[in-house]
Each structure stands twice: as C-alpha cells, then as structure tokens.
Amino acid sequence: MDWVQKTITLRARSRGYHVVTREVLEHLPELREFKVGLLHVFIQHTSASLTINENASPDVCGDLERHLNRMVPENAPYYEHTIEGADDMPAHIKASLFGSSLTIPVSNGRLQLGTWQGIYLCEHRNHGGARHLVLTLHGQR
C-alpha cells in the first residue's frame, strides 16, 4: 500500500459554497497512478467546512446559503462567543454541521464521485481568507 500526503492552500473565497473538485485534483496528479484506494480531505479551519453535493446547478449553492442562514442566524441573543464578529459563531456551528473531512473512494485513477457530485468548500465567514486542506491518498498503485 502506498501513501501520498500534501497540504494545499485554496485561495480566499466569498462567503458561500464553492465547488473545488478541480483544484483538489490539480494538486494530486498521483491519483492517476492508484488502482484502488481512498482520498481523505481534511480542512484545517473551524469556520469553514467540506461537503459533497450537486455540482451542476448553481442554485444549489444559493439554496444552501439561504437555508443555513435561517437555521443558524447571526446575532442570536444567546451567543456568548461574539468577539470576532456576527458571522463567527454561526460559522463555527455551520462548520460543525457539515464537518471537517471527506473520504472518497478511488478506482482506476479516478475519484468515485457520482455524475453530479463535487467537493465543496463551504465558506461560512464573510472574509475567511485562504483555506488549507490536507489531502491524504492511500491505496494500491
């Protein structure tokens, strides 16, 4: 079994949901050599998260943002962690809901995502900055 691990930096993005599948793959040319395995993607932040969702309709991004903003509003009177701004505590909650990692099967040099699936960076801050992902590929070449 072989291992490949690298940390990549995604450019800063606006608040919302961004398909980053292509960027992840661009940083992982070794994937093409793997017959079978797993790709683990971990985000090193507490106010952004990762998910897999539909990558074809941009409406999905807007709907996710609108729904989560209703579910987890800014300026809730019961938040105690408010020193970093109105979007900070909701960002932590949203990141916990979506999670900090993904595990995706690999077969014949390709991620085994469904036809309409993509890897999303969920940016929950208004100005989150660059985001760091640890990519760990494990399997048989």
Which CATH number fits the domain that encloses residue 45? Answer: 2.60.120.460
Question: What's 100's DSSP letter?
Answer: S
Residue ranges making up the domain that contains 128:
2-140
DSSP assignment string, 1-36 = -EEEEEEEEEPP--SEEEE-HHHHHHT-GGGGG-SE
- pLDDT over 70 for what percent of the chain? 100
Find the helix or strand (DSSP H, E) in which 94 lies: helix 88-98
- Output the average pLDDT for the chain: 97
Could you give the CA distance from residue 140 to residue 82 in angstroms, rounded to a whole number?
Answer: 47
Task: Compute the half-sphere exposure of residue 9: CA atoms within 13 Å on the CB side of its CA.
Answer: 5
pLDDT tier at 139, thresholds 50, 70, 90: very high
Q: Show Cβ contacts of residue 93 under 8 Å, excluding neighbours closer than 6 positions.
A: 72
Total domains in the chain come to 1
| Both tokens assigned to 133 | 């992902």
Could you give the CA distance from residue 96 to residue 49 in angstroms, rounded to a whole number?
Answer: 8
Residue in 48, 10, 50, 26 with CA at minimum distance from that of residue 111: 26
Query: What integer pLDDT is reported at residue 74 of this predicted model?
Result: 97
Query: What integer pLDDT is reported at residue 65 of this predicted model?
Result: 95
Largest CA distance in the chain: 54
pLDDT tier at 49, thresholds 50, 70, 90: very high
Could you give the CA distance from residue 15 to residue 20 in angstroms, rounded to a whole number?
Answer: 14
Q: What is the pTM of this model?
A: 0.96
Residues 95-112 have a mean pLDDT of 98
Residues 28-51 have a mean pLDDT of 98
pLDDT tier at 46, thresholds 50, 70, 90: very high
Helices and strands (H and E) in the chain: how many: 3, 8
